Structure 1
Amino acid sequence: MAGFLKTLAIVACLTLPQMAEAARDKIALVIGMANYQFLPPLQNTLKDANGMAQSLENIGFDVTLSLDSTTQDMTRVLEDFAFRSEVADLALIYFAGHGVEVQGENFLLPIDVKASNNRDIQRQSASLKQLLAAVDNARKMRIVILDSCRDNPLGDEIDLDTVAEAQAASDQTRGGGGGMAAVDPDRGTLVAFAARDGQVALDGTGDNSPYAEALMKKMAQPGLEISLMFRQVRDLVLEKTGNLQEPHTYGSLTGVPFYLSPADGGADSVGTSEAWSSMKPDQEEQLLALADLGDTRSMLGLAYMRLNPNVGRFDPVAAVSFLQRAADAGAPEAQFELAKLYERGTGVAADPQKALELYQAAALQNFPDAINDLGFLHHQGGLGLSANPQKAYTFFQRAAELRHPQAQFNFAALIDDGLVPGKGPEEAAGFLYAALRSGSTDVLNLLSERPNMFKLETRRALQNKLQEHKFYQGSIDGDFGPGTQRGIRRAYGLED
């Protein structure tokens, strides 16, 4: 069982406190479309895009600005951004321009789109799915903002003259009626619409749209947690437009507090409970109000506040109550955190069976931490489970495929020791490379300091993987000398 012993080197990091995120590596792609060749032009979108790019740069983002992009331009810039996002803590895309819903899917239109039917739009445009894929591998947070709420007003056949007439009839909107389709992004990803699905976005009477103006104002406010930031943007737009336009967000964020513009001194060096506890009273009041409306992330944040023993509001029983409400509503992170309390007997009587049920409930929703922990419980035996290493390996594989960094390393180690039938050095190297790209410092350190813990064939396969992605140009010999070490650091995201 030497392979499993390898994993013990980093198991401890599973119990380290999560960190509040004021992302160190924040990248943004800002796209603005105005001068359409075959569709009505838009008035404020380029001003919105330029203003957004400047606002993001002011709060520490590395910004790529793309204006009046063609289909080819959009494809290229999205591919480049997708690769760069793999080593960013936060990846954000902002799009201002024409957008349409086609058969339940959202498409963002480049300036050279020339469509006579839905198939033309699908072929010539960028889908929201493509934008989500471009941010999907960012390490901490993924955001896509669409200041573009249009529909396909004529169903399967698009009459461009009618579209133009509808546009000309009102210079105060960016499109016809109907709006964009609702979306359901993966956990840790936020999709923000300038207007709720089925509504249209107003262009406004000033230099910027009401949504862009509110967004630029609020994202620059230091120490404003991201979920509350978008809530306040919503309130500003409703006020500015006389309730004609209601922005809406979709997605399920993690329970780690996140700040686009951190407060003075930052907030990325303390654990989750401490970070939530450091919130100002007015933000806690907003969380309480949102919790009363059924917002499970607010419940989770309030629970973390009450699990911090270093502040006056320490109250594990109240934390259990908040977590139970969120768990009953189906929030997997709340189920996972509540399982730990039942396992330890914190704020509630210890109940191993209840803890196991909650871990399993979170795992059924593909919550990686719960899946990885179930792997260890099955391997070692715990919470009433008998030791079953083979079943444990299936859990490690599931967690690894869901990009859990420690599980990626652990599963690579199991493959390297021949404990996973049908998988060999190529698969082990693939998981090691993925763990590097996902930002695991433990994996970086182990590959840098103890590479020979892996077999020669696995080390060669990892060199091949590094070479494939242009991080390494040396010999494929399994010797992790200076060249390979430099490639490992570059794959992780460190420059020489």
Structure 2
Amino acid sequence: MSFVFRVLLTLATIMLPVASVAATDRAALVLGMADYQYLPKLDNTRNDALRMAETLEGIGFDVTLGIDVGAEDMTRMLEGFAFRAEVADLALIYFAGHGVEVQGENFLIPVDVQVQSNRDVERQSASLKQLLAAVEKARKMRIVILDSCRDNPLGDALAGDTSETTNASTAPERAGLAPANPDRGTLVAFAAKDGQVALDGRGENSPYALALMEKMVQPGLEISLMFRQVRDLVLQKTGNLQEPHTYGSLTGVPFYLAGGNESAGSTDAWAALKPDQEEQLLALAELGDTRSMLGLAYIRLNPNQDRFDPTAAIEFLQRAADAGSPEAQFELAKLYERGTGVEPDPAKALALYRAAADQNFADAINDLGFLHYQGGLGLPANPQKALTFFERAADLRHPQAQFNFAALIDDGLIPNKDPEDAAQYLYAALRSGSSDVLKLLSERPTMFTDQTRKALQAKLKDNDFYQGSIDGDFGPGTQRGIRRAYGLDG
């Protein structure tokens, strides 16, 4: 039996949740800009940020707070938070202050920006892309909330040519921010729908901040429904003058800012949803919301519930899959492969796996790797082709694929990859929160070559998790470094 096959079989056998070592963590960066030096000052943004930080801390977040920070400090805070967010289950950024659209891109303005043109905004402010990059490696969920665009002190007439500038006083006004298009698993929430202006409010806090803080502390309120209720509350409070909006597609795992049980599997977690929230899911599903369809399908796939109904689950999944949900396509593929609720249909299962993989759904790509390696669903065994799937899934930060691919590199089976590459994938799997990789590196490090172990020690040292010798010996010091890289105290 080849080493590759032994590794894949080992992973299929031991890749199980390890609750005793799994880290659960929530990190938030809260930024409030009010005392602008060269732009109109804002009344409530400081209050909103201070109270938001207090609210988030009260529901278990580790909060970093920045009030009236300049451009350099804002950049440093985002960089530091990005590293911190890698070991958080949920990473959240809340920004209250001036936000503007320039040439179709959104920018959040620090207090010391001296603006004569839109080009100054681009050079001196933080873009929404930077905020998204700061949360993108969080393990389960990523949220960016922009309580901004209370007014637009600039215009949007600057051309892309760096030689052309437009004075802010003569540029045409454009209210609000541009629509966002974040990656899967990331939610961007605007205080006001793109193209609209958010209201500062007549009290000490903005209507949006008040609605957020009221709803986010409500125990057991699933996060997609929470933002929906925030929208409805702001519309009510502002007489329909301001409509918050969310962009992005969350995973099918239910999540709660206060209360709830995210450690349960999808079917158990969705089944625990309160009846009134299930009714809201049904209403949203009728409006075409595919995540609500997924949640309803998971409820009906739970054999321990009186709502167990695989046929109804298939219908919800099929609707979501037809609407383009890669997660629904993947879940439906598994049901057709196993014959759960439907007659087994290998051809349909394979088509659904491929459809999900075409949308870069990492689970589907990783499973296609196994199918190609071992042969399955009518595919001939093709280990060489399987490697391309494993690499693709690994590069999409699928923890099991990262470990698999590191093992394949370590065995010398991937051309143009060396021990440093293997160590990088192992390090990435640790940072992504794979308790199985933590367990393997803690208990069976010698399954990797001495060269790969040394490269991993060097990687840990480069990131200040380890200070010992680069000798390939995974003694107490290296083990502490591995645990610290994973997000534990060591």
Q: What TM-score do you get using the length of structure 1 for normalisation?
A: 0.94
Mapped pair 1:71 → 2:65: no
1:268 is displaced (CA, Å) by: 3.2
1:114 and 1:120 in contact (8 A); partners too = yes
SS at match of 1:204: coil
Mapped pair 1:185 → 2:175: no
Q: 1:470 to 1:17 in 2, by over 3 A?
A: closer
Distance 2:381 2:480 in 1: 40
Which structure has more relative contact order (CA 8 Å, sep 6+)? It is 1
Correspondences of 1:68-467 after superposition (within 5 Å): 68-149=68-149, 151=152, 152-153=154-155, 155-156=157-158, 157-161=165-169, 177-263=174-260, 267-467=261-461
1:244 is displaced (CA, Å) by: 0.7
**Residue identity matched to 1:194:** A
SS at match of 2:196: coil
SS at match of 1:80: helix
**Which deviations, in whole Å up to 9, do the C-alpha atoms of 1:155-201 show, x marking residues without a partner?**
225545579xx9xxxxxxxxx65210001101110000000000010
Q: What TM-score do you get using the length of structure 2 for normalisation?
A: 0.95
State the match for 1:171 in structure 2.
none
Correspondences of 1:14-93 after superposition (within 5 Å): 24-93=24-93
1:3 and 1:416 in contact (8 A); partners too = no
Unaligned stretches of 5+ residues in structure 1: 167-175
**Residue identity matched to 1:197:** D
1:23 is displaced (CA, Å) by: 8.9
1:13 is displaced (CA, Å) by: 6.2
1:107 and 1:125 in contact (8 A); partners too = yes
State the match for 1:6 in structure 2.
7
SS at match of 1:64: strand
1:191 and 1:251 in contact (8 A); partners too = yes
SS at match of 1:139: coil
Q: 1:293 to 1:370 in 2, by over 3 A?
A: same
Distance 1:365 1:433 in 2: 26
2:118 and 2:155 in contact (8 A); partners too = no
1:348 is displaced (CA, Å) by: 1.2
1:115 and 1:158 in contact (8 A); partners too = no
1:136 is displaced (CA, Å) by: 0.6
**Residue identity matched to 1:155:** A
1:177 and 1:199 in contact (8 A); partners too = no
Distance 1:229 1:197 in 2: 20
SS at match of 1:288: helix
Distance 1:226 1:162 in 2: 42
**Which deviations, in whole Å up to 9, do the C-alpha atoms of 1:389-434 show, x marking residues without a partner?**
0100000000000000000000000000011111110110000000
Distance 2:17 2:271 in 1: 14
Distance 1:280 1:210 in 2: 27
**Residue identity matched to 1:63:** V
1:11 and 1:406 in contact (8 A); partners too = no
1:473 is displaced (CA, Å) by: 1.1
**Which deviations, in whole Å up to 9, do the C-alpha atoms of 1:113-146 show, x marking residues without a partner?**
1121222111100000000000011001100000
2:23 and 2:488 in contact (8 A); partners too = no
**Residue identity matched to 2:388:** T
2:431 and 2:486 in contact (8 A); partners too = yes
SS at match of 1:302: helix
State the match for 1:173 in structure 2.
none
1:323 is displaced (CA, Å) by: 0.2
2:27 and 2:90 in contact (8 A); partners too = yes
1:18 is displaced (CA, Å) by: 12
2:103 and 2:156 in contact (8 A); partners too = no
RMSD over aligned Cα, in angstroms? 1.8
Mapped pair 1:492 → 2:489: no
Q: 1:73 to 1:187 in 2, by over 3 A?
A: same
1:2 is displaced (CA, Å) by: 1.1
**Which deviations, in whole Å up to 9, do the C-alpha atoms of 1:445-477 show, x marking residues without a partner?**
100110000011111111111111111111111
2:193 and 2:244 in contact (8 A); partners too = yes
**Equivalences, count:** 479
